[in-house]
Amino acid sequence: MYRSHNCGELRITDTTKEVTLSGWVQIGRDLGGLTFVDLRDRYGITQVVFNLEENENLCLAARKLGREFVIRVVGIVKERSNKNPNRPTGDIEVEALSLEVLNASKVPPFTIEEETDGGEDIRMNYRYLDIRRPNVRENLIFRSNLAVSTRAYLANQGFIEVETPVLIKSTPEGARDFVVPSRMNAGQFYALPQSPQTFKQILMIAGMDKYFQIVKCFRDEDLRADRQPEFTQIDCEMSFVTRDEVLDTFEGLTKHLFKQMLDVTLHDFPKMSYDEAMERYGSDKPDIRFGMEFVDLTKKAKGHGFPVFDNSEFVVGICAKGIAESYSNKDVKKLTEWMQRPQIGAKGLVYIKYLPGGQVKSSVGKFYSDEVLLSWKDDFDAEEGDIVFILCGEKEKTQKQTNELRLEMGRRLELMDPAEFKPLWVVDFPLLEWDEDSNRFHAMHHPFTAPKKEDEERMLLGDHETMKNLRADAYDLVINGVEIGGGSIRIHDRDLQSRNFDLLGFTKEEAEDQFGFLLGAFEYGAPPHGGIAFGFDRLCAVLNGQNSIRDFIAFPKNNQGRDMMIDSPSYIDDEQMKELSLKTTIEK
Amino acid sequence: MYRSHNCGELRITDTTKEVTLSGWVQIGRDLGGLTFVDLRDRYGITQVVFNLEENENLCLAARKLGREFVIRVVGIVKERSNKNPNRPTGDIEVEALSLEVLNASKVPPFTIEEETDGGEDIRMNYRYLDIRRPNVRENLIFRSNLAVSTRAYLANQGFIEVETPVLIKSTPEGARDFVVPSRMNAGQFYALPQSPQTFKQILMIAGMDKYFQIVKCFRDEDLRADRQPEFTQIDCEMSFVTRDEVLDTFEGLTKHLFKQMLDVTLHDFPKMSYDEAMERYGSDKPDIRFGMEFVDLTKKAKGHGFPVFDNSEFVVGICAKGIAESYSNKDVKKLTEWMQRPQIGAKGLVYIKYLPGGQVKSSVGKFYSDEVLLSWKDDFDAEEGDIVFILCGEKEKTQKQTNELRLEMGRRLELMDPAEFKPLWVVDFPLLEWDEDSNRFHAMHHPFTAPKKEDEERMLLGDHETMKNLRADAYDLVINGVEIGGGSIRIHDRDLQSRNFDLLGFTKEEAEDQFGFLLGAFEYGAPPHGGIAFGFDRLCAVLNGQNSIRDFIAFPKNNQGRDMMIDSPSYIDDEQMKELSLKTTIEK
């Protein structure tokens, strides 16, 4: 037997018991006649004490233990004289009677502590040491508990978890697929799913009524810090539902998870149309923890002889509270430069400072009288001491830039309270986006999204130009400016689906080749259905007020898609290549 | 709103309520002035009645409904005059007030009933219709519930579910890997995991203590009826455990699942060594629902002038009860032919019939006197009316053949009660198997399995010949002759692991290249650990007394590894091939 107790459970009520503990040496300290060892496992840390006078050999053996040695100790639980109130086991210590080294350890290349001295790369190389750090360990436990809560809630709502296949079929639509060469069907490939989208729709047509799955998905995209080639979704689909029934169900799930995991009670989630979100925040995932909403100045700003505004499609401003005096010209200049970086691409930044005593200072004071500028004050609900920033240009671009500015000012003014959670449903997205480059429509959500009921007939019969204004019965859940997930009511009618493929530039043959099984299935009693998918990694991060999903993945890949620890991907045998009927065009 | 109730929940207490139901038309019947429609969804079937006299148009519309049409009906719940006691909703019917066709259906290519007229291929092509059949649907629901129960039990025992990566590294050991070409690392490949083996060991080294995962695994093997290229495991690992602690934990899980899912109470599972299982049953996964155990006749049968037995390494018999008189010579001849088929490969079959009145009849009566044959009767606990079958040859081959005979006789005599469950732990497997062809050892379980404690030193220091007798600390759970899963205590010492790789024919470079990360991890405080994996698909089948795992997989692949419904695998674009730096050596 390796242990009678774990390292986190002994208490003052256990004193005088003989116990066996196993774990890792967190740290050892020699204090004259006593040697203390902090013994650590997943559950906690227990202090073990070795007495030089009472058992010299044992104590000398303990002094030889290095950090991260794995040991087994038998001893007696004693009350500590100097208790440690910060540790659940801090009232006791174990006086060692025997010691066995189960495995030695080299000196680890970084400290196994919450605040470690190891950089990202070395921690990923030695991920098994990294996970021993309490914060990483707790992230993984949190993730596991979140999955337990999610499954319990959905099962309780009548959802059935169905495993959909991982080896599926490549479709050029959407992001790039990872593919898997088939040995038995030489020259052909499976693809790894970007999502179980078509399978969950097939399950609705199969009458499963309520489906969910916590499922790995794959995208061969160029990676950013917050993207992984494999990621996890809470994937759901329901039959015979309207949009609001879907939203209610997953609002219920979200509230449940916040309550269970954080003891946070969320109020009912507001709904906002895509158009309104763009008008008020310039973003389809606004952070509504703070205001600083857009004020459209296009009409008011024109006609005063300032050619930049006069020639702009769109002029928009936001108001930052209370910094008119503290923000120097240099600060504004720096902010302007930040906005002019290629990532944002603003041409310039106009400011108006509303100063105490009714004074106004502005970078466009030459063109606008104080009276005019003061007349805009109410539009922003501005007070003396506030500063207004104004951007202009093409509408869509300017909205995006102003969104970046708003978020940056929100950060600088610390308006995003990490302890506050503000969920929002964004609804009524456009169905199709016109892409100038490829001269065709793209699906804003995906090709299976239904138009809103009232747009159905127009979609089937309308002329091409009016397709740009079709609204989708699609929705996103946004919390604190992060998109947790999204979904839609799906098309369940063959004609409508064919029309959509048509609009998206599929030929009849391509549509049949790639999605023939789904089109066929629509002809055998497909029920109305809709669903949603939440990014599970993202949800973990947001619940913990963190930005990086990588911290919640046990074995993440780096930005080159490599697993640093196992050193993958790697070259394979010529024999394997031959069996797969493959050749590489690269010189090794 | 599509429905106020589902099609399985209305009862006599709901009469007079106005309800809305949606579902599929199972069947319609016209009985003069009344038209009945059985409306079906996942939850059940409700009878809807249309009255020609009261609402002619509605009734005429109902008469046009075809099988599998999707409809919405509003109506009033009424008590039925002729109740259907076989249906939970059989006390009521819904008198229709309105009817809407939500989607039409072509006539399905097979009947949507438990006993369908559709063959395997057509059902797989139209899997969405196949899943509408109540037995397939219930299999998937059973699977979902089994996962819920498994997770609840393991979470309750302190196990953490950790998702291990799907894109890992190819290792030539074991079965063939599916591989995934990397675009970002041109010429290199990921592999899909055959199991998360190394990752779960890394998680133990990382201090996670108790890990589990219900996880997809992949093997590119030539497929048999009961194999799938992707399958699901309940995968577990524990630290600081002895073998019996692992067995107790998963015996507990198994008992829990049988109780929860079937209300079956399993008694404590016996343990049997591999050697004993081979001696008594000629199999490492014996079905112990019935006896018919092997009796070793090698000594007794020799020296009587029968050259076939005299020249055999091994002579073994089993006793089939009560068929001595009913089994004619023709029956025995047929059985002999069955045993001589190439799949089994027996050279012949000797019988002894113990007939009423002390008579004996045997195919080797020429060589053995009645007295001798009668003297063997007690060895078999045989009675008058029993028949003994005897096989001989090389020991291992003969054991396998006799195992086949025993199972066949068990089937013929109906000794395997499908309602009875007899679990068994088979333990102490050989560590290594000598392979004559490749002139090297193979790991009987896998290369990470530890030898039994008492064999450790011999493994490190002994000469090559003695390696054949090393025992592994490995175990399998067998229920009714089906291997549910297996596992082992793992090596956690670098030297012992290196020695094992060495014995398995790895060069130092190969071991380092493929498993360097694990060998390295062993040097940083690897705890003693062990684990197990259950085949989840198989467990579903065994719990339902069924043979095929395919019936418990939503979208199985056929024996060519193809998904018939989506028609995958398939060819991919030249553009995709180019991006992956790949060429096929096959002409399309």
What is the spatial distance between Cα A433 and Cα A443, in angstroms, rounded to a whole number?
6
Within this chain, do residues B58 and B169 fall inside the same structural domain, yes or no?
no
What pLDDT is stored for residue B30 in this prediction? 94
Would you place residue A462 in the very low, low, confident or very high pLDDT band (cuts 50, 70, 90)? confident
| pLDDT tens per residue, range A405-432 | 999 999 999 999 999 999 999 999 999 9
Beta carbons of B202 and A170 less than 8 Å apart: no
Place of tokens 């104080």: A370
Instruction: Give the gap in angstroms from C-alpha A230 to the nearest C-alpha of chain B.
Output: 8
Question: Which among B161, B189, B229 has CB closest to A569?
Answer: B189
Q: How many domains, in total, are found in chain B?
A: 4
What pLDDT is stored for residue B2 in this prediction? 97
Within this chain, do residues A430 and A522 fall inside the same structural domain, yes or no?
yes
What pLDDT is stored for residue A225 in this prediction? 67
Domain-embedded: residue A163: yes
| pLDDT tens per residue, range B429-471 | 999 988 888 888 989 888 999 999 999 999 998 888 888 899 9
In degrees, rounded to 5, the angle at the alpha carbon of residue A470 between the alpha carbons of residues A393 and A459 is 145
Phi-psi region of A26 (alpha: psi -120 to 50; beta: other; left: phi over 0): alpha
Question: Which among B132, B168, B189 has CB closest to A563?
Answer: B168
Domain-embedded: residue A126: no
Within this chain, do residues A259 and A312 fall inside the same structural domain, yes or no?
no
ipTM of predicted complex: 0.95
- We report the CATH number of the domain holding residue B380 as 3.30.1360.30
The answer to whether B124 and B567 are in contact (CB under 8 A) is: no
Domain-embedded: residue A548: yes
- The whole domain housing A501 covers 423-530
Within this chain, do residues B402 and B433 fall inside the same structural domain, yes or no?
no
Beta carbons of A2 and B557 less than 8 Å apart: no
What is the spatial distance between Cα A366 and Cα A305, in angstroms, rounded to a whole number?
10
Beta carbons of B586 and A179 less than 8 Å apart: no
Beta carbons of A144 and B128 less than 8 Å apart: no
CA A237 to chain centre: 21
| pLDDT tens per residue, range A293-333 | 999 999 999 999 999 999 999 999 999 999 999 999 999 99
Q: In the structure encoding, which two tokens stand for residue B404, read together?
A: 């086949």
- We report the CATH number of the domain holding residue B76 as 2.40.50.140
Question: Which among B187, B563, B568 has CB closest to A588?
Answer: B187
Residue A445 has pLDDT above 90, yes or no: no
Within this chain, do residues A142 and A264 fall inside the same structural domain, yes or no?
yes
Domain-embedded: residue B160: yes
| pLDDT tens per residue, range A325-369 | 999 999 999 999 999 999 999 999 999 999 999 999 999 999 999
Domain-embedded: residue A121: no
Sign of CA dihedral A136, A140, A145, A147: positive
Q: In the structure encoding, which two tokens stand for residue A251, read together?
A: 């609002």
Domain final position from A388, A412, A436:
A412
What angle do helix axes B508-521 and B494-503 make, rounded to 10 degrees?
Answer: 150
Within this chain, do residues B168 and B251 fall inside the same structural domain, yes or no?
yes
What pLDDT is stored for residue A468 in this prediction? 86
Within this chain, do residues B203 and B168 fall inside the same structural domain, yes or no?
yes
Domain final position from A412, A432, A450:
A412
| pLDDT tens per residue, range A217-263 | 999 988 776 789 999 999 999 999 999 999 999 999 999 999 999 99
What pLDDT is stored for residue B547 in this prediction? 86
Instruction: Among A103, A130, A131, A243, pick the best mutation site for testing chain B contact (most B Cβ within 10 A).
Output: A103
Question: Which among B103, B525, B553 has CB closest to A103?
Answer: B525
Place of tokens 């963190």: A546
Residue A174 has pLDDT above 80, yes or no: no
What is the spatial distance between Cα B540 and Cα B149, in angstroms, rounded to a whole number?
12
Residue segments in chain B with a per-residue pLDDT below the cut of 50: none
Q: Give the residue from chain A lying closest to B110, CA to CA.
A: A524
What pLDDT is stored for residue B588 in this prediction? 56
Within this chain, do residues A295 and A390 fall inside the same structural domain, yes or no?
yes
CA B534 to chain centre: 9
Domain-embedded: residue A41: yes
- Sheet hosting strand A387-393, strand order edge to edge: A295-296, A314-320, A387-393, A350-355, A359-362
Q: Which residues of B fall within a CB distance of 8 Å from A554? A: 162-165, 199, 203
Within this chain, do residues B459 and B350 fall inside the same structural domain, yes or no?
no
What pLDDT is stored for residue A464 in this prediction? 82
Q: SS in 3 state form for B12-74?
A: HHHCCCEEEEEEEEEEEEEECCEEEEEEEECCEEEEEEEECCCCHHHHHHHHCCCCCCEEEEE
Residues in chain B: 588
Q: In the structure encoding, which two tokens stand for residue A281, read together?
A: 């925040």
Within this chain, do residues B158 and B255 fall inside the same structural domain, yes or no?
yes
Domain final position from B513, B530, B547:
B530
What pLDDT is stored for residue A588 in this prediction? 56
Instruction: Give the gap in angstroms from C-alpha B111 to the nearest C-alpha of chain A.
Output: 13
Domain-embedded: residue B547: yes
Domain-embedded: residue B482: yes
The answer to whether B219 and B175 are in contact (CB under 8 A) is: yes
The answer to whether A473 and A488 are in contact (CB under 8 A) is: yes
- We report the CATH number of the domain holding residue A553 as 3.30.930.10
What pLDDT is stored for residue A164 in this prediction? 98
Residue A398 has pLDDT above 90, yes or no: yes
Within this chain, do residues A373 and A443 fall inside the same structural domain, yes or no?
no
Instruction: Give the gap in angstroms from C-alpha B442 to the nearest C-alpha of chain A.
Output: 20
The answer to whether B19 and B10 are in contact (CB under 8 A) is: yes
Within this chain, do residues A251 and A150 fall inside the same structural domain, yes or no?
yes
Question: Which among A210, A240, A573 has CB closest to B3?
Answer: A240
| pLDDT tens per residue, range A180-213 | 999 999 999 999 999 999 999 999 999 999 999 9
Residue A173 has pLDDT above 70, yes or no: no
One-letter identity of residue A65: L
Residues in chain A: 588
Q: Residue A562: exposed, middle, or buried by beta-carbon count in 10 A (0-12, 13-18, 19+)?
A: buried
What is the spatial distance between Cα A581 and Cα A576, in angstroms, rounded to a whole number?
9
Q: Which residues of B fall within a CB distance of 8 Å from A580? A: 179
